[in-house]
Amino acid sequence: DIQLTQSPSSLSASVGDRVTITCRASQGINNFLAWFQQKPGKAPKSLISAASTLQSGVPSRFSGSGSGTEFTLTISSLQSEDLATYYCHQYHSYPYTFGQGTKLEIK
């Protein structure tokens, strides 16, 4: 199975800060990586597919990059509504897997 390791597991940042979350895959997955945002009690929301493709309606402050084994999700200017848990997800090989999540708190 492909393991995804996210870092950090949690972080606290201020409105306006630039935030970066990293996802490392245990083996190469090309660009078959997605990022999800999940708010408490809600279904996950797709932010990024194919490592860097922004989903429709997602604010442009969100961006994704990387290929192979190293990926990043960047929020260029943190907003209060970005309070959530973020997950990376590989769909290169079965079983599909997720990172353990990064809980983002607003200072």
> Interacting stretch for other proteins, rule CB under 8 A, among 12-20, 22-30, 59-67, 87-95?
87-95
**For residues 13-52, which are near other proteins according to CB under 8 A?**
34, 36, 38, 43-46, 49-50
* Contact call for residue 53 and other proteins (CB under 8 A): yes
- DSSP 8-state symbol, 96: P
Q: Is 100 in the site for other proteins (CB under 8 A)?
A: yes
Q: What is the DSSP letter of 82?
A: G
Contact by Cβ (8 Å): 18, 104: no
Q: 3-class DSSP state for residue 92?
A: coil
Question: Applying CB under 8 A, does 87 fall inside the site for other proteins?
Answer: yes
Say how many residues touch other proteins, by CB under 8 A.
24
Query: Using CA atoms, how far apart are residues 50 and 83, in angstroms rounded to an integer?
Result: 23
Cα(34)–Cα(49) distance, rounded to whole angstroms?
4
Residues that bind other proteins (CB under 8 A): 34, 36, 38, 43-46, 49-50, 53-56, 87, 89, 91, 94-101
